[in-house]
Amino acid sequence: MVKSQAGVSWGRVLAVALVMAFFGGAVGYVVGSGRSPSAESVDVGFYRDMTVHHDQAVRMSLIELRNGENLTVRSFAQEIVIFQRWEMGRMYERLRGWGITSEPPTTAMAWMGMPVPASSMPGLATDEQMRTLQNARGAEADALFLELMAEHHRGGAHMAGYAAKHAGHADVRSLAATMERNQIMEIAEFKQTAERYGLDVATEAGSA
């Protein structure tokens, strides 16, 4: 079981939070169910794009769990793997229920009026950055993970904030608002952790 440097059992915290998230998501799903949105809607666009965004966050977190050494930073990575995989599953299921393919889009953010190639979504690490993270070890891996994930969260929170205001389905707005809030909070936590342990990280706390 992973514990923070303060001795907190992250496994127990995550288990309780995951149960709460499940029931909250189930309620949101029922309340928000209704007519299927169009493929061009904010709801569909956000879910399709955010699954791609989350997939990279999970891959980055798995690298940190293999290569990092700081238990607090590794606990952040573990949380991301658990919660963002859960969110991905929820988004995939909703898309499937709407009869929409979850195939990764080639153009992203058109639903925001800001179309870009999917690989250029805000916050996504480049292939070179991913290779550098893969090759990093110890404190270097911890620092690079925090830096890249803070930027990743900043881009994700930007998209989630738009969806929280403009999606047509209540459950989409609720999930997007939760993502925005959590990711902004985690950016601040990353900065505080880097300062506490003397990690060389360029992060900025605050909104997306």
pLDDT of residue 203: 58
Report whether 152 contacts 125 (CB < 8 A): yes
Please list the helix, strand and coil fractions of the chain in percent, rounded to the nearest 5, in that order. 70, 5, 25
Q: In the chain, what are the domains?
A: 38-197 (1.20.1260.10)
Spans in the chain with pLDDT lower than 70? 1-34, 203-208
pLDDT of residue 88: 97
Report the distance separating Cα 161 and Cα 14, nearest Å.
Answer: 24
Report the distance separating Cα 165 and Cα 9, nearest Å.
Answer: 35
Element (H, E) at 107: strand 107-108
Report whether 73 contacts 142 (CB < 8 A): yes
pTM of the full structure: 0.82
Vertex 129 angle, CA 124 and 134, to 5°: 115
Q: Which amino acid is at 48?
A: R
Tens of pLDDT, residues 48-63? 999 999 999 999 999 9
